[in-house]
Structure 1
């Protein structure tokens, strides 16, 4: 979706930005009042970095590379109250993150503030909030614990699955219903027909607009399509991106091979996939966001 300005805006939950597992356990086992007391008692204790911390850090560094108004922004959306959220902001200040806008919702889902803030992407540890964001037409993913890594350079690397993430799930439905041979035949027959857009199409387009402000050799962002597709199903993907006038820096057609090693070789700061099993596998290597969209996530 489009924001209110030309900025690229990412919304992130406090549990994605910082490691809040201990306090979240208190909330689940003892309730909101005990959780609030726990956070207030520790509001001067700096929180450990969470799954999305290094992604956010690299993202905000982009503003230092461009002259004029900031071109990227991170919004904090939290189920915390403003009172308990003081610990979160103290930690933001400690790490020197330029995050100034936030919504603290005191136990309620913050997804309803995604549109007013003009967000292009929402990252959270709460799958319910992510699904509600997707229903609003915003790219969103549930971050899976365990895959975050610090990388050796400042290049921000986004990796995306294709079907049901960048593209619609129309081809994936054929694969699930009729099998691989039928999928390959349908894709060969439809090679000249662009695929429909998936939930991350708008975010990818906004990311490319930001990339276009840099020369090819100085751009701090790289993108990769990492898909289980193989030839001949690659042609429709390439022609679809061409029809959208969207450029992907690297395209990797794996023909069903596990994605993790390839994502690590690319150096992905985050990978987005709709298939839960692919996400679990990828999270062993890189930070991974599950996109609960499309036929792979329908409840039977």
Structure 2
């Protein structure tokens, strides 16, 4: 991982085209080249709002978000519509990549992606296991949501030390689950350090970037440890939630995050219902 003091942007984020545009509602009889807005549209707008504020403060700012759009196994017609739709909506997309399904990881690695976002949970899980920072794109379909980028980090993953993670086997966690936690924590740190650096460009009030911690099943001590770790990584947390086993959905419905970094919890059967 690059030293945060020496890192110069952009902070590369990869997004899948079927999250940015709603292909399910596209009629084959429609002649328009513009695709309907999808679940990631408010995310893109929020990212652009952060970039605009950063440039307003410093015209030579180098630590900016850059979004690349990736698409797998789509027709030439859809490819053209994707490009035209990006232009139509005025979206700031750095690059387009069209790839075969098995080329996902290579595409992310070759572009030095700092965060891969997707609503396809298996893709997020696969990326994490290969060391690529990845998180769930939380469903944000409401256009009226203010252009403020909200990121939620999992306190359950961050709050456990290396030794504590190993001890989870005593509580019924498999070796695969524990390794997922470890991989997720390493990946999460790389992105969190950069987000912390970016968040530090703004004051406490009226920031276009909001960082949160959500501890769903860990204790208060785990939540406190997560907050301490994030401070050590240089992240000032705006909001913290310690649920101690309570369902996540009520909090998520209020906070409405764009990025939900749960470290692979969504693929663990014994925990998956807590964040639905």
Extract unaligned runs of 5+ from structure 2. 173-183
Larger helix fraction of residues: 2
Question: 1:17 pairs with 12, 17, 20, which one?
Answer: 20
Are residues 177 and 16 of structure 1, via their aligned partners in 2, closer, same or farther at CA, if it must alter by over 3 Å? farther
> 2:233 aligned with 1:230, yes or no?
no
Secondary structure in structure 2 of the residue aligned to 1:163: helix
TM-score, with length taken from structure 1: 0.70
**Alignment partner, residue 298 of structure 1:** none
CA distance in 2, matches of 1:235, 1:161: 12
Native 8 Å contact 1:44 1:90 kept in 2: no
**Alignment partner, residue 249 of structure 2:** 260
**Alignment partner, residue 179 of structure 2:** none
> 2:149 aligned with 1:156, yes or no?
yes
Native 8 Å contact 2:66 2:94 kept in 1: no
Shift of 1:126: 4.0
Question: 2:34 pairs with 42, 46, 66, which one?
Answer: 46
> 2:193 aligned with 1:205, yes or no?
yes
Native 8 Å contact 1:148 1:269 kept in 2: no
CA distance in 2, matches of 1:99, 1:232: 41
The root-mean-square deviation of aligned C-alpha atoms, in Å, is: 3.4
**Alignment partner, residue 204 of structure 2:** 216
Native 8 Å contact 2:12 2:112 kept in 1: yes
Extract unaligned runs of 5+ from structure 1. 24-37, 180-195, 284-300
Native 8 Å contact 2:39 2:141 kept in 1: yes
CA distance in 2, matches of 1:124, 1:271: 10
* Rg (Cα) greater in structure: 1
Are residues 108 and 81 of structure 1, via their aligned partners in 2, closer, same or farther at CA, if it must alter by over 3 Å? farther
**Alignment partner, residue 57 of structure 1:** 45
**Alignment partner, residue 137 of structure 1:** 131
CA distance in 1, matches of 2:69, 2:31: 17
CA distance in 1, matches of 2:219, 2:159: 17
Secondary structure in structure 2 of the residue aligned to 1:100: strand
Secondary structure in structure 1 of the residue aligned to 2:112: coil
> 2:242 aligned with 1:241, yes or no?
no
Are residues 73 and 233 of structure 1, via their aligned partners in 2, closer, same or farther at CA, if it must alter by over 3 Å? closer
Q: How many residues align?
A: 252
CA distance in 1, matches of 2:161, 2:96: 31
Native 8 Å contact 1:159 1:271 kept in 2: yes
